[in-house]
Structure 1
Amino acid sequence: MADRSYAYDPVGTGAPVNQQSHRMEEGQLWRQYVIAGVANILIACLGYNMGWTAPINSKLNKTDESPLETIPTSDDLAWMGSLLTIGAIFGPFIGGFAASKIGRKWGLISSTIPLFIGWILVAVAKTMAYLFAGRIFWGISVGMVFTISPMYCAEIATDDSRGALGSFLQAFITLGFLLVYGIGPFISYMAVAYVGVAVVALFCVLFFFMPESPTYYLLKSDRDAAADCLATIRGRSRAGVEAELSKMEMEVKASMEKTATIADVFRGSNFKAFYISCALVFFQQFCGINAVLFYMTDIFDASGTSLESSIATIIIGAVQVIASFITPFVVDRLGRRILLLISSCGTAIGAGLLGMFFLLSEQKSPVVESISFLPILSLVVFIVTYCWGLGPLPWAVMSELFPIEVKAAASPIATAFCWVMSFLVTRYFPTISSSLGMYVGFWIFGVCCVIAFFFTLFLVPETKGKSFQEIQEMLGAGKQKQEKV
């Protein structure tokens, strides 16, 4: 009987090749998940920073726990919450520049600088001005990372796993929220800062050993470095990644034939990718997620539950984490569109029911007592379905739709637009709700979710399992080239 541990090599030299080695050449595709996971530790840091106000606001109102010389007003706290989004509006342009000049890897590492500056300001704060400045610096980092991280994850992923890696953003940001929700109420103001700094430092140490995006090296015409990176990411030899590298090289060369400008973003298939991306991040913000999180305590109080608000917040944070980690496992099986449709439908139902409950509550309807469970049920439905689609997928889809040469120009604009919308919601929703009624705000969000459903149904392309070139052809780039010829 022939020894089955050997097989002849495919190029016909006749030399026996160990079959185990041949199988290893299939690669270790789990590596891309580990690398993306390490990259997204920084996303968890941002979640920690974004959720920092939840436990800190109450500490600032207590003279024995606050580092400030005076107790802040409610308006001070509202501005402190919203100023992060102001910084995030400018961060994407810094991030896009860094990604193109020093690379995706070092762009992400450099985005920790504003984080550290923000933590220093928070640690030495004696007045609200320090906290305002710290939140703005954190926002700059948020804008940088939300621009570079989806780009990095999309460029290291295989076509079949790009959706899963893109979904890591929402999953890891909820881990950051849960961490600050879980420890913030029970440790001191300074201890919260020490933990935040430690997590950022952990990212810097671990990510230092991770590879650069092969696409970046190809853009710099360094094929050898790109091959080494891709071999590391795929767990294959240089020969084993040659076919994929050649395909990537063709796409990059095609993109380098012209230099994209801001004006190119608004032309042809690029503009289609741009308005789809902007619409998705608009729906992400105007589905009402920040308003729901902002009013979480009020929602629990309205339900009549005996749970303390800090414990209730931890429970909701845990629900977010569980729901968010479902998406990476199913997004490349079910596709982006079906999850976006489910998400927009679920958030519409959740926002609509919350609006109905608060209307009945405002009218002092006797029905309220019998449906006291409704706010919590609506909240869970809303957050779970948000985490399945509208939370993670706009970023994943954005990273897939733009051609390589346009990403550096288009992604910062779309990301900045997202944070402008976030600022409008976080800063002015409380004012609108107090003047018109909370139910009006939630119903507005519900209508936006319904519009998101139909927008996705008719205009968002399915990118599951498709290469970047195939996606561009879906958007009409191929047709435009034929017309030019």
Structure 2
Amino acid sequence: MEDREQVEEALVDTKEGINEHEHDNKIRYNNETKNDITSGGGGGNSFLYLSALTSNLLMISCSTNFTWTSPMLKILTNSDPVINPLGTPITPLQQSWFTSLFGLGAVFGPIFFGKLADIIGRKKLLMLLAIPNIAGFSILAVASDIRVYCLVRFVLGAVTGVVYAILPIYLTEISELGNRGMLGSFMSVFSNLGILLVFVIGPYLSVKQLSICCAVPTLLFAIFFGIFIPESPVYLVTKGDRAEATKSLMKLRQRSSRHVEAELHLITKNVEKQTEVGTVGDLFKERSLRRALFICFTLPVFQQISGLQVVNSFLGPILDSTKTGLSTYTSTVIIGIVRMFVVVTATALIDRVGRKVLLLVSTLGCFLTLTLLGMYFHLDKSEVFDIESFSWLPVISLTFFMAFFNVGLVGIPFLLPSELFPPKFKSLGSSLVSFSSFGFYFLVVMSYPIISHWYGIELCFWMFSGGTLLGVVFIYFMVPETKGKTYNDIKKFLEK
């Protein structure tokens, strides 16, 4: 209702200067545009979905970094210099740094470059990020020094951290109210597409070949996004460029200037209420902002201590340590396909079921599957039971773990800042989420090889299951439902 009232105000303002004999036509126009804005439907929005799909080509490349190490670790730990471009196998300590530095880079990327989105624009920043992404994969293709590998992984992590901070903002700002959740969840779909790509082709390729393949989606992104896709209309309004904002909306909505005027006026009114630039200190001045900050910083912690990135980075070695009847390649492909199917389904449901329900199902499912995995590795280590009769358990548990994770935890934490924060804090809020998420990514992935070596892999999975159980409690009591709600509706809830 709040959104309808705002739209009514916008439409009343657009009536000024209309002659008396145009009154009936104007009323009919107002009713049409009001339905367009509030329903998120009305008109052809095929170009809007095309814009979201094109922008997410960059996400495919970035997400390949999560699983790039899984097939490549077998090569880099090989003693054959013909196979291993480094010449000698890397040590366990080098494995820890090699896999985790990506997360450390993703921590610092948003801190130093996230605010550029408010200075040069969402589109320009995303285009600039394509350059180091392509360069990084090109260097990995020809490098022969582990130090170079580590440095490049850090840089690619910085790029990915900024992408995860800025792309949700762009997708939210070009979306309509009725499809905001779906467009925001496209990130999860394309992220899993990149992960599946590595699972499928990685075991058959050399370091050089896989690195080149990972760079191709970014190259396609730079071409098509740069030429055909417009800048965010919200950003253009904040810069006072109403003419370009109108063109952007016309292109995204595939409507005439007359039919986007009401929406543009509503965007302008919302931006005018938030003219100043938000700082970290400002986040602590209001109860709603403090709670939004707490939610957006804490939820990614539970996302990472679920151990997903450990599974992504070490899936091959984890499966190798089990006694399943399936090959590691077959198992990884099955897991990748199932997680892809689940995330597509969750994307279709997010604007129907809601964010909170999907998060609860996601964390509870992860808790159960991780507990089973810990139990399997404990029984395998104890040698008390004949574990071969449960050889199917690791693949089934990992498959369902990936499936449950992709129901909600994979993407919703990155979507929430664009819904919980007002415009002046969106970039800052998204950067803080990336900082939290990738900071714990680094800590978890860095510590996994050490803990599993000294205390056993079963302890790691039980720690992960405990973390997700705490996540269930946190989400139930603290996270609001944002489906179909305006910022004012969400703010009222956060102030309670």
Q: TM-score, normalised by structure 1?
A: 0.90
For the pair 1:113 / 2:134, whether they are aligned, the reply is no
Q: 1:89 aligns with which of 98, 107, 114?
A: 107
3-state DSSP of counterpart to 2:482: coil
Partner of 2:380: 361
3-state DSSP of counterpart to 2:352: helix
Q: Is the 8 A contact 2:117 2:166 kept in 1?
A: yes
Partner of 1:483: none
For the pair 1:168 / 2:186, whether they are aligned, the reply is yes
Partner of 2:32: none
Q: Which runs of 5+ in 2 are unaligned?
A: 1-20, 30-34
Q: Once structures 1 and 2 are overlaid, which stretch shifts more, 218-227 or 327-336?
A: 218-227
3-state DSSP of counterpart to 1:255: coil
Partner of 1:204: 222
Offset of 1:135 from its aligned partner? 0.6
Q: 1:378 aligns with which of 368, 392, 397?
A: 397
Q: 1:53 aligns with which of 69, 78, 97?
A: 69
Q: Once structures 1 and 2 are overlaid, which stretch shifts more, 326-335 or 431-440?
A: 431-440
Q: Is the 8 A contact 1:45 1:200 kept in 2?
A: yes
For the pair 1:141 / 2:159, whether they are aligned, the reply is yes
Q: Aligned partners of 2:395 and 2:88: how far apart in 1?
A: 36
Partner of 2:331: 312
Q: TM-score, normalised by structure 2?
A: 0.88
3-state DSSP of counterpart to 1:52: helix
For the pair 1:43 / 2:52, whether they are aligned, the reply is no
Q: Where does 1:65-464 land on structure 2 (aligned, <5 Å)? A: 65-208=83-226, 209-256=228-275, 258-268=276-286, 269-297=288-316, 299-301=318-320, 303-464=322-483
Q: Is the 8 A contact 2:96 2:446 kept in 1?
A: yes
Partner of 2:12: none
Q: Aligned partners of 1:198 and 1:136: how far apart in 2?
A: 20
Q: 2:43 aligns with which of 19, 24, 27?
A: 27
Q: Deviations over 1:394-414 (max 9, x none)?
A: 111122111111123232123
Match of 1:128, as an amino acid?
I
Q: Aligned partners of 2:100 and 2:474: how far apart in 1?
A: 28
Q: Aligned partners of 2:94 and 2:48: how far apart in 1?
A: 43
Q: Aligned partners of 2:481 and 2:334: how far apart in 1?
A: 34
Q: Once structures 1 and 2 are overlaid, which stretch shifts more, 384-393 or 196-205?
A: 196-205
Q: Once structures 1 and 2 are overlaid, which stretch shifts more, 203-212 or 86-95?
A: 86-95
Q: Aligned partners of 1:187 and 1:259: how far apart in 2?
A: 47
Q: Is the 8 A contact 1:270 1:406 kept in 2?
A: no
Q: Is the 8 A contact 2:362 2:407 kept in 1?
A: yes
Match of 2:364, as an amino acid?
C
Q: Deviations over 1:401-442 (max 9, x none)?
A: 111111232321231121110001000022122222322221
Runs of 4+, deviation exceeding 6 Å: none
Q: Aligned partners of 1:171 and 1:456: how far apart in 2?
A: 23
Match of 2:424, as an amino acid?
E
Q: Once structures 1 and 2 are overlaid, which stretch shifts more, 462-471 or 142-151?
A: 462-471
Q: Deviations over 1:161-218 (max 9, x none)?
A: 1111111112111111111221122133322222222221111001111011111011
Aligned length: 463
Offset of 1:78 from its aligned partner? 2.2
Match of 1:59, as an amino acid?
I
Q: 1:72 to 1:438 in 2, by over 3 A?
A: closer
Q: Is the 8 A contact 1:265 1:409 kept in 2?
A: no
3-state DSSP of counterpart to 1:47: helix
Q: Is the 8 A contact 2:310 2:444 kept in 1?
A: yes
Q: 1:220 to 1:306 in 2, by over 3 A?
A: same
Q: 1:13 to 1:124 in 2, by over 3 A?
A: closer
Match of 1:88, as an amino acid?
A
Offset of 1:10 from its aligned partner? 8.0
Q: Once structures 1 and 2 are overlaid, which stretch shifts more, 438-447 or 420-429?
A: 438-447
Q: Is the 8 A contact 1:299 1:376 kept in 2?
A: no
Q: Aligned partners of 1:436 and 1:188: how far apart in 2?
A: 33
Partner of 2:3: none
Q: 1:70 to 1:437 in 2, by over 3 A?
A: closer
Q: Is the 8 A contact 2:68 2:313 kept in 1?
A: no
Q: Is the 8 A contact 1:262 1:410 kept in 2?
A: no
Q: Is the 8 A contact 1:302 1:372 kept in 2?
A: no
Offset of 1:44 from its aligned partner? 0.6
Offset of 1:11 from its aligned partner? 4.5
Match of 2:485, as an amino acid?
K
Coordinate RMSD, CA, aligned = 2.3
Match of 2:95, as an amino acid?
L
Q: Once structures 1 and 2 are overlaid, which stretch shifts more, 291-300 or 83-92?
A: 291-300
Q: Aligned partners of 1:391 and 1:240: how far apart in 2?
A: 36
Q: 1:13 to 1:372 in 2, by over 3 A?
A: closer
Q: Deviations over 1:19-39 (max 9, x none)?
A: xxxx99932123322211111
3-state DSSP of counterpart to 2:274: helix
Q: 1:316 to 1:10 in 2, by over 3 A?
A: farther
3-state DSSP of counterpart to 2:115: helix
Q: 1:68 to 1:86 in 2, by over 3 A?
A: same
Offset of 1:367 from its aligned partner? 4.8
Partner of 1:482: none
3-state DSSP of counterpart to 1:279: helix
Q: Deviations over 1:45-104 (max 9, x none)?
A: 111233211222222224212322433223222211111111111111244222111111
Q: Is the 8 A contact 2:69 2:314 kept in 1?
A: no
Q: 1:211 to 1:286 in 2, by over 3 A?
A: same
Q: Deviations over 1:267-298 (max 9, x none)?
A: 32112111101111111101121233345345
Match of 2:139, as an amino acid?
L
Offset of 1:302 from its aligned partner? 5.3
Q: Is the 8 A contact 1:170 1:391 kept in 2?
A: yes
